[in-house]
Amino acid sequence: MLDGVSFIIPIFNKRSFLPQVVAGLKAQRGDFAREFIFIDDGSTDGSREALLPLIEDLLNARVLHHANAGPSVTTNRGLREARYGLVKLVDGDDVLLPDATERLRNALTQHPEAVVAYGESGYYAYAGEALARLAATDTTADEAHLEDALPLFLRECYLGPSNCLIRTEAALAVGGCDEHVFVQDYSLLMRLSTKGPFVATKIPTTLHPQATEGRLNDGGPQLLHDTNLTLLNFLSEHDLPADVFAKTARRSITRAWLWAKRREDASVFSIWYLLRLAAYLPSHKLQLALLRRSNAAFTLSRPVRMSHPV
């Protein structure tokens, strides 16, 4: 039997999004205990002050604060604070649809071997559009199937935390997010994929803002840098079959080369292409070293952000 849900909402400079984010949390239907853990990651735009009046009538809500540390560190603090057996991570600009949590709970009830249940997401252009969706009724069937997520994650991060409902025990068992990586999504979900299957559903769960301003996926190098860093650390920490290891490392080094070619006008005579060629040598130790070196391609003309321990 599942117990309650801990909603964990990291916030960094999301003041303009908070009214619709909180509205989505208040709209969650279902007969389950719940708590809401907001963590202000050192915002400088008044997010914390704007949040407090919005949650005055939200039961079991608390607001934590620390100096800016990054999403991975902030998410892990939320995981440690969680009191309930399930955690619902919500990015500070995402809007949960009203039945998302309850329907994902049902999926985990039906599949007790699964560590994560996830659904689909959409987009909203402005606050009014998101709020209107909260009043709409969805009739999507609760069809679900189990999947081995690890092979999929070794290729790419194909879903985000706001789409997911996660067993707290599993998240803590894998150490939460990799705090050496700024962005939290990939490392946490990849680590969880080693603990058991995921339940994939078509349930509409989340609305993301269409605008990329202020988001990490703004077309810059941050997400690609953190993708490769996540894979580097994961390959260093886990014993994978030789062919899977090599293919993952080569794909990641190729990702860095393609970025350098597209954004930095690197040629086939550049170090980035030479690293790609060298990755075909049959040495895991060498491939890890090449992957580590290749990640610098993402920092040539634009800095990336790194985590800072609290």
What is the per-residue pLDDT across 63-88, written as a single tens digit (0 to 9) for each?
999 999 999 999 999 999 999 999 99
**Would you say the C-alpha torsion 154, 174, 24, 27 has a positive or negative sign?**
positive
Per-residue pLDDT band for 307 (boundaries 50, 70, 90) equals: confident
Question: Per-residue confidence at 1, pLDDT binned at 50, 70, 90?
Answer: very low
Give yes or no for residue 151 having a pLDDT over 90: yes
Tell me: the pLDDT tens digits for 90-146? Answer: 999 999 999 999 999 999 999 999 999 999 999 999 999 999 999 988 888 888 999
Q: Which residue has the higher pLDDT, 175 or 211?
A: 175
d(CA 195, CA 186): 15
Domains of the chain: 5-209 (3.90.550.10), 222-299 (no CATH)
Helix (H) and strand (E) counts for the chain? Answer: 12, 9
3-state secondary structure of 30: coil
**3-state secondary structure at position 282:** coil
What is the structure's pLDDT at 298? 96
pTM to 2 decimals? 0.94
Mean pLDDT, residues 137-157 taken together: 91
